[in-house]
Structure 1
Amino acid sequence: MKSIWYKDAIIYSLDVETFMDGNGDGIGDFVGLTQHLNYLAGSGITCLWLLPFYPSPNRDNGYDVMDYYNVDPRLGTLGDFVEFMHQARERGIRVLIDLVINHTSDQHPWFQQSRSNPQSRYRNYYVWSKNPPESDPSLIAFPTVEDSLWEYDEQAEAYYLHHFYKHQPDLNIANPLVREEICKIMGFWLELGVSGFRIDAASFVIEGIGIAEAQQASLQSFFDEMRGFLTSHQGDAVLLAEANVPAEEIPTYFGQGNRIHLLFNFLLNQYMFLALARQTAEPLHYGLKNLPEIPAQCQWLNFVRHHDELTLDRLSDSEMQEIFAAFAPEEKMQIFGRGIRRRLPPMLKGDRRHIELTYSLMFSLPGTPLLRYGDEIGMGDDLSLPGRTSVRTPMQWSDEPNAGFSKVPPDQLIQPIISEGAYGYKEVNVAQEQRDPAALINWIERLIRIRKQCPEFGYGTLHILETDAPCVLAHCCTWSDRAVIALHNLANQDCSVTLKSTDYGHLSELFGDHPYESLHRDHKAIQLSPYGYRWFQANQAH
């Protein structure tokens, strides 16, 4: 069980710079994060995923890395990181860190040497061309910001490849020296105690665009090399990949169970929001049935929102417009022509029932659940901020100035605090909600607690159950002679649902949106409130 700990982990994502300011300079840091590990442990979190904390010009939230072997001085020192890791281990919390290997900052010493000296070993760390091919718009990560995959560099007198911003040149993964460097980076942080890495932009890593000597099979085999290195250095460490790709490309990442351990479930996330918009289970049925079968030791990572936009690019234009109409009807709520830059509570107009339904659904889908900092208190967004920063505001700890995040004057904060409206820090904060037994934070803790009692959702086999109610998703996960059934009413109206399967005997209720009447033994006509949900332990009929 230890080697596949990630199957029933509860993962929490945070950005160190917006979580807690421990030294009073307006920027979150490792000292502040360490001080709040008891809060995270008490919530039931078992694993933290940290966004990039490396030295960086910070033109892309730290994803423009200047030095892979250090901590951004604004966030602390390596000593602070080591103390944080020690304290996390003491509380049974594992740590995953971002591994940004598709690109570096253009300020990275590798790139500076690459552009200044054609004879340098670093020249081929990046992808250069005197006459680059015409850019395919579908491969540009930010199509409303950048119009090309290539940028001319006067010093190098050549064009360099960049899938993302022009200040983030792509690394040449076909170069064995680059692969060796990446493994060294992994080895460094493994020695400091991390339990694995989230591979940023994994699909672009193996794209091979513009790399003359690149062969697709060779690029893909780098995941095998990374897995082999990881296993030889720390047997239970994991790789988590960010790859928003079509279903038929997903097996490339898992391999035969010898490549990536976990993959963000982008496809199911998009169909989940389509189901929420339509208030019908059919899109989720489709999404679940069309996910490829994955090796037993591999896992999906399910999420509602993460730190980027809610991307909808795997859906049709008409489906995307349905979701926009329901959850982001104004242009300022949208981004890149294909995504939403809002947090969940504002998208659902603050409807507590709808918010609970969505998280209950996500936690019960086959895979491992991911929460993002602030989800547990129902944090909102600030659409006056540019781009993705709308959903990257500081954590709201209390109703004290700056939401208890920092004691500096507001104009010195790393990002503005949400201070006005229904999601302002005086209305939404940890301290206030922890005093209220009915608050969302306590409901989320209960959800985590019950989810930990249901390893079937993490380890089990999915069965979609037929019902007589189109608005209800009914599914079962079976594992080791155990079964858990979850019912979710996606509609804003009461319903009575009958399971057509006879494979399950007595249902014992584990979790629900409110106390319901006990079921009769034949469990016909199961009642669900508007946006209602119920989880059951089931006996499998023999």
Structure 2
Amino acid sequence: MSLSKPSETLLQPDKNWWRGAVIYQIYPRSYQDSNGDGIGDLKGITARLPYVASLGVDAIWISPFFTSPMKDFGYDVSDYRGVDPIFGGLSDFDALITEAHRLGIRVMIDLVLSHTSDQHPWFVESRSSRFNPKSDWYVWSDSKPDGTPPNNWLSIFGGSAWQWDPTRLQYFMHNFLTSQPDLNLHNPEVQDALLAVERFWLERGVDGFRLDTINFYFHDLELRDNPALAPERRNANTAPAVNPYNYQEHLYDKNRPENLAFLKRFRAVMDEFPAIAAVGEVGDSQIGLEIAGQYTSDGDKMHMCYAFEFLAPDPLTPAIVAEVQHAFERAAPEGWACWAFSNHDVVRHISRWGLDIADHEAHAKFLASLLMTLRGSVCIYQGEELGLTEADLAFEDLQDPYGIQFWPDFKGRDGCRTPMVWDANAVNGGFGEGKPWLPVSGNHIGRAVSVQESDARSVLQHYRRFLAFRKQHPAFAKGEIDFRPYQAPVLGFTRSYGNETILCIYNMSGETTSLERPVETLEVLEGHGFASQFGDDSITLPAWSGFFARLV
């Protein structure tokens, strides 16, 4: 495999490459194991980059590979500048960057800046006393007079967001596991340290960042209690329904206005480099789109954000799709969305929205096409292009502390994190020779890459075909969107850019449907893989299908 310098002909600097980009998320533990230890690694990712390139995506987003005790599988960082040995070393990352750039793929990495591991040297020093140089680098507080935590804030992983430390005789804040203490970004030294981490990876050649829990960076300095949330406003998009986290309106433990100034500082560092972009994860289902609008405004903070609207359990309808798109436009008239239907934290969307749908293949292809024609950039989660369902794991196989905490009412995130399946005839589906850290799902083997490569009708080949179709028409990546007043189950909208306007019509049901032919003159577009019928008076769409035409 070539490890030459990045190809200038394939990867030219383009400050706007991210606008309409398709980003492929790789969860490194589960992508490809190159050394037989049962855990995916950076060399494994590098070996599979030609496959990624064959999909036609613009960039990859790699979930954390930094040094970590792995209590939250990399989202608990103990060294921001090191590669955890289970994934390889810095030289392996350099080789990955080189090969990705040679193939014309940009590389985004997942930065976790709201908290660290409790084994990070910063926290080890901070907790050693109340008067050391890093004593204020984390969120510490005295107890109430009765010894209870300073306020009512809750952890997403269950229980209080405060943990008692017997050395300092104080509580420290943790929005997630007790082993993930929150950094105090009110301290300028902490901000400077995190910006130095950002610069380290930019100088190493990364093309951008996915910023984890971007709205959790700051807390209320007065430590005011969160108010209760009315029952009718509770939902399970941010935390599972069994978690009392949903019972609060999170006004003071996150979403603080001080974050805007820090995001400007973060953007200023990115702007020193030729063509860098960042997407922020807004972890809030109550006011997520409003926050996304703030964070992407004025061109001086995030390039794009995504919230949880399309990661929710409720199945999509034409009304939901249109309202989410309109809501983002209202909240972020100057901003840019990055939509995802699945990721490493939620039930795979094929299972989440389609357990009762008979035609699994058609439904998967329809959802892929819809995602890639909405206004915004796109994140595809590994295995999504194979139509993988959520894996069903036994309790004894669970690794995710979230699932272990709330089993069996909430089974955690392991079901969407099982190993990628490459070869139906190879041990562990081609993931690697050693026992995988999570079992390979038997239901996935028949959907391996090796099976779908030779089938022109497969979900994998549809993703490739539709990604190529999308690239042929810049309106899909860059254009405006205008919804049409069709009746459910039909969803219709136009995408317009330059001199091109494309009409997109979807049948969001399992039954064939027909609609009256539009009055405009249409040039029917081919190459997308759907087989709708365009007649003199009507358009007939099979179940879970689409129709595309240029307005002329």
TM-score by length of 2: 0.83
Aligned CA distance change for structure 1 residues 461 and 207 (closer, same or farther; 3 Å): farther
Residue 441 (1) aligns with residue 460 (2): yes
Q: 1:71-105 CA distances to partner (integer Å, 9 max, x unpaired)? A: 00011010111011111110010010011001001
CA contact under 8 A between 1:433 and 1:440: conserved in structure 2?
Answer: yes
Aligned counterpart, 2:438: 415
Name the structure 1 match of 2:522.
506
Moved more, 98-107 or 477-486: 477-486
Instruction: Give the secondary structure class of the aligned counterpart of 2:375.
Output: coil
Distance 1:128 1:54, change over 3 A: same
Query: Residues 241 and 347 from structure 1, CA distance in 2 versus in 1: closer, same or farther, beyond 3 angstroms?
Result: farther
Contact 1:54 1:69 in 2 (8 A): yes
CA contact (8 A) 2:184 2:218 kept: no
Confirm or deny: 8 A CA contact 2:315 2:352 kept in the other structure.
no
Distance 1:406 1:256 in 2: 46
Q: 1:374 and 1:248, CA in 2 relative to 1: closer, same or farther beyond 3 A? A: closer
Total equivalences in the alignment: 487
The answer on whether the counterparts of 1:418 and 1:424 sit within 8 Å (CA) in structure 2 is yes
Which ranges of structure 2 fall in alignment gaps of 5 or more residues? Answer: 1-12, 144-148, 225-251, 404-411
Residue equivalent to 1:486: 504
- 1:151 alignment counterpart: 163
1:455 and 1:77 map into 2 onto residues whose CA distance is 38
Query: Which residue identity does 2:318 align to in structure 1?
Result: A
Q: Tell me if the contact between 2:533 and 2:541 (Cα under 8 Å) persists in the aligned partners.
A: no
CA deviations 1:303-354 (Å, max 9, x no partner) are 11111025xxxxxxxxxxxxxxxx9xxxxxxxxxxxx995666575662111
Q: How far off is 1:536 after superposition?
A: 2.0
1:334-345 equivalences under 5 Å are none
Separation in structure 2 between the aligned mates of residue 536 and residue 298 of structure 1, nearest angstrom: 28
Cα offset, 1:274, TM superposition: 3.8
Cα distance in 2 between the residues matched to 1:52 and 1:405: 19
Q: 1:382 to 1:515 in 2, by over 3 A?
A: closer
- Is 1:133 the counterpart of 2:150 in the alignment? yes
**Residue from 328, 337, 342 that aligns with 1:291:** 328
The structure-2 alpha-carbon separation of the partners of 1:283 and 1:380, relative to structure 1 and needing over 3 Å to count, comes to closer
1:253 maps to 295
Letter in 2 for 1:367: G
Equivalent runs, 1:185-204 vs 2, <5 Å: 185-204=197-216
Letter in 1 for 2:514: S
Q: Residue 241 of structure 1 aligns to which amino acid in structure 2?
A: G
Please list the CA deviations of residues 160-208 of structure 1 after superposition, one character each: whole Å capped at 9, or x if unmatched. 0111111100000111001101110011101111011111001111343
Q: Identity percentage over the alignment?
A: 28
| Partner Cα distance (1:296, 1:86) in 2 | 37
Q: Deviation at 1:286?
A: 2.4
Matched, 1:406 2:432: yes
SS in 1 for 2:179: coil
TM-score (norm: length of structure 1): 0.84
Q: Retained in 2: the 8 A contact 1:202–1:243?
A: yes
Pair 1:43–1:68, CA change in 2 (3 A) = same
Q: Quick check: 1:476–1:483 contact (8 Å CA) kept in 2?
A: yes
Q: Please list the CA deviations of residues 473-526 of structure 1 after superposition, one character each: whole Å capped at 9, or x if unmatched.
A: 1011111121122111112222112366x5x43232235554334454xxx522
Query: RMSD value over aligned CA atoms?
Result: 2.5
The one-letter code of the counterpart of 1:231 is D
1:220 pairs with one of 248, 254, 260: 260
Aligned ranges 1:111-510 → 2 under 5 Å? 111-131=123-143, 132-137=149-154, 140-142=155-157, 146-208=158-220, 216-232=256-272, 234-245=273-284, 246=287, 247-270=289-312, 274=314, 276=316, 280-293=317-330, 298-309=335-346, 348=357, 351-384=360-393, 385=398, 386=403, 387-399=412-424, 400-408=426-434, 410=435, 413-419=436-442, 423-425=443-445, 427-467=446-486, 469-498=487-516, 504-510=520-526
1:126–1:169 CA contact under 8 A, matched in 2: yes
